[in-house]
Amino acid sequence: MSTPVILALTAGEPAGIGPELCLQLAAKARGVGVVLVASRELLQARADELGIQVQLHEWVPGTVPESRAGHLSVRHVAGCDSTIAGQLDTANSQYVLDTLTLAANGCLRGDFDGMVTAPVHKGVINDAGIGFSGHTEFLQALCGVDRVVMMLATDELRVALVTTHLPLQEVPAAITPQRLTQVSRILNADLKTFFGIEHPRILVAGLNPHAGEGGHLGREEIEVIEPTLETLRAEGLQLTGPLPADTLFTPHWLEEADAVLAMYHDQGLPVLKFQGFGRAVNVTLGLPIVRTSVDHGTALDLAGTGRADAGSLLTAIRVGERMARSRKAAQAGESL
């Protein structure tokens, strides 16, 4: 019998669709243990508003979460002042961060095998006077790691990023040998640990059109990217590139790859989201914990309507469970 997996699920921005996506899990029995990390009052208010019949049970660490249809386990977090769908309230900002902190610390302690995050609203958190650039950076600081990697994935494609939320004009200077080395090593190691890929094959995009066209369209490939990849290949990493991005994202190349490493946010993610929006999951690599997330935002206009689609959340839970099981298997192998 397989070891049970318990995932913490943070409900995200109270005014957004996160709470109701979480409540949709009660529609049927679940094969994975999920604990909602959220305000119990928020969840009950949204359930009442949408006519969702659900029983919320307070979860105690060390116990098996509810998995029956119509039942959900909750780790209550206080401090949610407003539960009105679609209406942002800065007073809820600290509560949102408290849910992330509780879930991540629970993972670090071993209470949870991983965490899944519903969308937050960066703007309202910053409007509350709290500096916040995103889940990825917040969890990086909380876990005390030097570098993390954002990767979005569908069943057919995985795209990781060398740089994430930077203005385009700042990207070239940020692609340093040190950063590219760190990101490549993390991607390679975590594809092994969390996805069970023994020898990852990674395609690396160039920065410039046509990967620099031999230096005529930019020299970053010649001076930074290619020398760094050569050093990493000598370590045993299977890295192909730098390749022009418009060529890399074709079946000829992708069918022989386990992941793509893009240089910046809008180089790789539009392709992935076009290919699998609603079925994609955001994964943070480089953390000592499993973390997955939906591939969409808070959708304030849909909140409280009952029309939000839980497809991406279900995918994030499924991928989180697989990652947790893969890590357990890897750790068991190391202990032999």
Binding residues for substrate: 135-136, 273, 282, 291
Residue 261 CA, distance from chain mean position: 16
- State the burial class of residue 336 (Cβ atoms within 10 Å of its Cβ: 0-12, 13-18, 19+): exposed
- Report the C-alpha gap between 69 and 53 in whole angstroms: 10
Binding residue positions: 135-136, 165, 210, 265, 273, 282, 291
C-alpha distances out from residue 57 to 34, 68, 69, 259, 306, Å: 12, 11, 13, 40, 23
> 174: Cβ–Cβ under 8 A, 6 or more apart, which residues?
162, 163, 166
- Report the C-alpha gap between 196 and 5 in whole angstroms: 17
Token representation of residue 224: 């930074």
Binding residue positions for a divalent metal cation: 165, 210, 265
Q: Is 101 helix (H, G, I), strand (E, B) or coil?
A: helix
- Report the C-alpha gap between 153 and 269 in whole angstroms: 10
> 177: Cβ–Cβ under 8 A, 6 or more apart, which residues?
224, 227, 228
